[in-house]
């Protein structure tokens, strides 16, 4: 990133951090952050028009690496604002269902755009000219319908989609945090077990997250009513481990080219091998 754009981006992030420190009300904070995002995008557009790209590579780099960094912040805060404005004030079940539905919508977006998500996450470049060059905008068949009315001088077919992917990853963190806050003192509701400290998870975190999502998908807990957040909380306590951003890890598991359920497949193989060995060598 050139020094001028880097300085503008750093200034934009400082403004967002300042808003977080000044405004405790998340609704007001999101409104002010949206305003800051609109200003930043406007300034970025003005700079781009005043300083035309000198090469095609420079143009592609801008729409792939720079504009999405600015725009994803605007998209994120717009989504947080919408979430706060529509958040129900009813029962725990109502609020939990609302958050889970928001997370489900994110999953649908990533599922719909899985090919492009894999392309971006794997660092591929062979389609960059079609995805991130405005001159290709009208020719690309995968164009988002909502991008048709955007400024042709300041958009490509996929920079908006990439911005949403970056924003939605942040939004997933936010929603999972909301779910955790809603769950409250779940740990306090369960009797402590002194023996838990003797058992620690020593396989990979990704393996435990595979298992966690498998249990959630199969409805193994509370007749299928336990949320992924509640299951994560339980696993962290039982196995003395911090799973971190398990939603993002799950997204990475989903886009594996091979072995999407590597750990679960390994468990199955080991268990079958043990059974076979017991059959051959009964006690």
- Tens of pLDDT, residues 176-233: 888 878 876 344 444 444 444 567 888 888 899 999 999 988 989 888 888 888 888 8
The per-residue pLDDT of the chain, averaged, comes to 84
Phi, psi (rounded to 5 degrees) for 113: -110, 30
Residue 141 confidence class, pLDDT cut points 50, 70, 90: very low
Q: What's the pLDDT band for 280 if we cut at 50, 70, 90?
A: confident
* Greater pLDDT, 250 or 104: 104
CA distance 202 to 156: 45
Of residues 107 and 228, more confidence is placed in: 107
8 Å CB contact between 252 and 244: no
Rounded Cα gap, residues 54 and 84, in angstroms: 43
Lowest mean pLDDT among 73-77, 128-132, 236-240: 236-240
Whether the predicted pLDDT of 69 surpasses 90: yes
Tell whether the torsion through CA atoms of 215, 220, 226 and 231 is positive or negative.
Answer: negative
- pTM given for the model: 0.65
Q: What is the pLDDT of residue 181?
A: 80
Instruction: Name which of 8-22, 58-72, 106-120, 127-141 the model is least confident about.
Output: 127-141
Q: What is the pLDDT confidence band of residue 23, given thresholds at 50, 70 and 90?
A: confident
Confidence of residue 277 (pLDDT cuts 50, 70, 90): confident
pLDDT at 282: 64
- From the number of C-beta atoms within 10 Å of its C-beta (0-12, 13-18, 19+), residue 278 rates as exposed
Angstrom distances, CA of residue 178 to CA of 97, 181, 204: 12, 5, 26
Pairwise CA distance, residues 211 & 17, whole Å: 36
The pLDDT value given to residue 133 = 86
* Cβ–Cβ under 8 Å, residues 67 and 133: no
Q: What is the pLDDT of residue 115?
A: 92
pLDDT over 90 percentage in the chain: 44
pLDDT above 60 (res 151): yes
């Amino acid at each position: 990133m050139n020094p001028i754009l880097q300085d503008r981006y750093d200034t934009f992030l400082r403004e967002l951090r300042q808003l977080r420190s000044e405004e405790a009300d998340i609704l007001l904070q999101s409104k002010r952050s949206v305003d800051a995002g609109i200003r930043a995008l406007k300034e970025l557009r003005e700079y781009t028009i005043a300083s035309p790209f000198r090469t095609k590579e420079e143009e592609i780099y801008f729409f792939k690496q720079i504009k999405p960094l600015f725009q994803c912040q605007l998209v994120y805060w717009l989504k947080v604002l919408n979430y706060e404005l529509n958040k129900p004030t009813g029962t725990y079940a109502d609020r939990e269902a609302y958050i889970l539905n928001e997370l489900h919508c994110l999953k649908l977006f990533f599922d719909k755009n899985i090919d492009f998500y894999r392309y971006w996450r794997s660092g591929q470049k062979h389609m960059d000219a079609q995805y991130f060059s405005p001159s290709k905008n009208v020719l690309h068949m995968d164009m988002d319908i909502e991008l048709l009315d955007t400024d042709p001088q300041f958009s490509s077919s996929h920079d908006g989609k990439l911005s949403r992917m970056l924003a939605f990853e942040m939004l997933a963190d936010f929603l999972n945090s909301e779910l955790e806050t809603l769950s409250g003192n779940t740990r306090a509701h369960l009797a402590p077990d002194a023996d838990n400290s003797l058992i620690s998870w020593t396989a990979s975190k990704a393996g435990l997250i595979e298992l966690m999502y498998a249990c959630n998908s199969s409805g193994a807990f509370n007749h299928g009513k336990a949320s992924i957040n509640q299951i994560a909380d339980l696993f962290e306590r039982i196995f003395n481990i911090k799973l971190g951003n398990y939603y993002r890890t799950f997204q990475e598991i989903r886009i594996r080219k091979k072995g999407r359920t590597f750990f679960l497949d390994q468990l199955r193989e080991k268990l079958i091998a043990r059974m076979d060995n017991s059959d051959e060598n009964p006690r």
